[in-house]
Amino acid sequence: MQVRGVRGAITIKEDTEIAVLQETDRLLREMIKANKIDPEQVASVFISVTDDITNAFPARAMRAIDGWSYVPVMCMKEMAVPHALQKCIRVMMHINTTKRQREIEHIYLEEAVTLRPDLVQHRNNQD
């Protein structure tokens, strides 16, 4: 068993509490489903947001998922790089697994597909 990172990202249309929580929930559930993740496998979760997201902590969405309240999670700000994708929530989930790197399904939704089109294309080819 090894620790592997599972990446995910999603953009929101507007910075509201509801949008942050709903879209983070959507992203997390897709990551969990695609990789068949049990909360007991998770060592930690880092969630970053761009500077234009200020109305909610996205970690609240994870805490609302049944069985995930004890998983360590930390929210932080993403680097402010000129011309970077805006209104973006990124997740890095560290899981204990026997899967190989290539078997991990990284999830990119909405405009965040532009962050790693190579991984999105790989996933679409597997479906």
Q: Which of 14, 17, 40, 63 is catalytic?
A: 63
Whether 4 is a known active-site residue: answer: no
Whether 102 is a known active-site residue: answer: no
DSSP-assigned beta bridge partners for residue 49: 77, 89
Q: Which of 4, 105, 108, 110 is catalytic?
A: 108
Q: Which of 7, 26, 29, 60 is catalytic?
A: 7
Q: Which of 60, 78, 111, 123 is catalytic?
A: 78
Q: Which of 26, 29, 60, 116 is catalytic?
A: 116
Whether 88 is a known active-site residue: answer: no
Q: Which of 4, 23, 75, 105 is catalytic?
A: 75
Helix (H, G, I), strand (E, B) or coil at 9: strand
C-alpha 87/C-alpha 109 separation (Å) is 12
Q: Which of 4, 23, 88, 90 is catalytic?
A: 90
Whether 110 is a known active-site residue: answer: no
The dihedral formed by the CA atoms of 20, 25, 30 and 35, expressed in degrees to the nearest 10: 120
Structure-token pair, residue 19: 């949008």
Structure-token pair, residue 81: 């790089």
Q: Which residues are catalytic?
A: 7, 63, 75, 78, 90, 108, 116
